[in-house]
Amino acid sequence: MLDLGLSFLGSVARDPGALAIVDGDVRLSYAQWYRRISALVAGFDAIGLKPGDHLVTALTNRWKAASLHWACQFAGIIITPVNWRSTASEIDFYLEDAEAKAIVYEDASAAAVAGSALAQQLPRIALDPARIASDPARIASDPAPPPAIAFAELASRAAPDAAPRVGAEAWSVMLYTSGTTARPKGVPRRQLAERAAALAHVAQNLYAHGERTLGVMPLYHTMGVRSLLAMSLIGGAFVCLRRFDVAHALTLIEAERVSNLYLVPTLYHDLVHHALFATRDVGSVRKLGFAGAPMTDGLLQTLQAAFKPDLFVNHYGSSEIYTFTIDQNAPAKPGSAGRAGINQMVRVVRLGATSVDDIAAVGEEGEIIALLAGDESFEGYWRRPDADAKALRQGWYFTGDTGFVDGDGDLFVTGRVDDMIITGGENVSPVEIESCLSLHAAVSEVAVVGLPNERWGKIVTAFVKCRRTVEPDELDVFCRNSGLANFKRPRRYVFVAEIPKSPVGKLLRRKLVAGEYEPVSPLKGTAA
């Protein structure tokens, strides 16, 4: 089986002159990019990095970050990308947990790196030249640590063409889970699993030779990594967008003739509802894919009308196992996550099941589990036997997601086990209610949670961001007329300025439960 280094060399041989990566004024062909990657491998040697070492990166999406990712594959170094918004204490955690040997940072993450005690004990590589002379780590520390190494110095060495130093069984990358309920968990993945996931991504999204994608999903997130690797397999181009900005995204789509998008629903929502959307030519985009969260019925309809894509894929997966299921015609059956991907098998077992054979009935909500034998699967969390014991059982991965299989055999994902609202003894999934309310013309975004109630245990509460004035009674009538079961109807509506989300657009229900939101008046749009 090919390792990722050999896989990239195959791309260089097939398409040496094809455009591989775009970042502002930087436009590199596969042959040109390979030379830059080879220089980085030599740079790793110069600072003493060895196969099996962890290199932590806290970077936005730029050609340098993508080049580091590929150089690590050739050198056998485990790239460990983390959120560039991480705090100093979070940087300390990642460095200690991964036993990192070096860290790469940029302007956006420089202050956190400067505040990290562990970072001062490691080689620090700075991407932005201005940071070298005034490295905040040196100013903040006494005695000052050695100066940061300039990326340009690391990458400018004369170097022979890099050859892969490890095989397909070597570790490729370690992503960290979001840590919304506990400290983040490292998810180490081998090169063979990464390549299998990229191949499946190409096949399941019907990518053709020479496609171009908008590289906006972070490279510390599985969706960003998948887009990067998938483009290399088809001689395609990865068009970097360092931080998501709607106007810039629309400009890049038009100027670079981006052919496919792979985003979380939140970013799609922001694209199509931006005032500039109608003024930009997005006709080059023929394939849409989404993952990371369910997409409401309303947004599905809006995107279908706006792009009229040839393919509209709902991809359901995770950092641990890239693909669970795929639906290649998402608008045809709103809410459906489809069926198992080409490298996977899935089941829905009863909630609280002790055996993987305790399969839920058709239409019965349970926990979704996925086979660990699949080619895209991880093998366990990084030094977390407690997490392994909870999630890995009898050769299956217990996802913590809830869902059901309908009479056609299609999977519907209804939320998280921890998000389930138990009200008056009934189990209520927030996703069904959110999809219902999203179809109301006044609703821009909606999130549903259960809030404590003395009588019912929890009451179904809808947090709504409005497009226009609307009263709770109008929304309640809409839910009644939609056919939503009576016990599922929200008993309380809260109107908010924004729905809280993570940096990659995942809904943060815990913030709503904790009261971390800005209420507004549904009538005047002013602070309540």
Domain boundaries, the chain: 259-347+356-373+382-419, 423-513
Structure token digits, residue 28: 């590199």
Cα separation, 133 vs 150, in Å, equals 10
Structure token digits, residue 186: 């490292």
* Beta-carbon contacts of residue 34 (< 8 Å; ≥ 6 apart): 8, 9, 12, 161, 162
Pairing of strands 78-81, 54-58: parallel
- Dihedral sign computed on CA atoms, order 432, 434, 438, 439: positive
Structure token digits, residue 205: 């999204």
CATH topology identical between 259-347+356-373+382-419 and 423-513: no
Cβ(439)–Cβ(482) below 8 Å: yes
The DSSP element (H or E) to which 387 belongs, if any, is helix 385-391
Q: Where are the beta strands (DSSP E) in 26-119?
A: 26-29, 54-58, 78-81, 102-105
Q: Which of 338, 334, 336 is nearest to 346 (CA)?
A: 338
Cis amide leading into 143 (omega within 30): yes
Give the pTM: 0.84
Task: Tell me the sheet residues that pair with 176.
Answer: 186
Tens of pLDDT along the chain (528 residues) come to 899 999 999 999 999 999 999 999 999 999 999 999 999 999 999 999 999 999 999 999 999 999 999 999 999 999 999 999 999 999 999 999 999 999 999 999 999 999 999 999 999 999 987 655 556 555 555 567 788 999 999 998 788 999 999 999 999 999 998 654 468 899 999 999 999 999 999 999 999 999 999 999 999 999 999 999 999 999 999 999 999 999 999 999 999 999 999 998 889 999 999 999 999 999 999 999 999 878 888 899 999 999 999 999 999 999 999 999 999 999 999 999 999 999 999 999 999 898 999 999 999 999 999 999 999 999 999 999 999 999 999 999 999 999 999 999 999 998 888 787 878 767 788 888 998 999 999 999 999 999 988 778 789 999 999 999 999 999 999 999 988 888 899 999 999 999 998 877 778 888 998 899 999 976 543 333
pLDDT of residue 421: 86
Cα separation, 31 vs 11, in Å, equals 9
Cα separation, 131 vs 87, in Å, equals 18
Q: Which residue has the tokens 């849409």?
A: 288
**Domain 259-347+356-373+382-419 belongs to what architecture?**
3-Layer(aba) Sandwich (3.40)
Domain at 423-513, CATH homologous superfamily: ANL, C-terminal domain (3.30.300.30)
> Measured over all CA atoms, what is the biggest interatomic distance in the chain, rounded to whole angstroms?
72
pLDDT of residue 101: 98
pLDDT of residue 140: 55
pLDDT of residue 528: 36
Cα separation, 361 vs 14, in Å, equals 49
Q: Where are the beta strands (DSSP E) in 264-363?
A: 287-290, 311-316, 325-327, 336-340, 346-350
Residue at 503: amino acid letter: P
Cα separation, 405 vs 456, in Å, equals 28
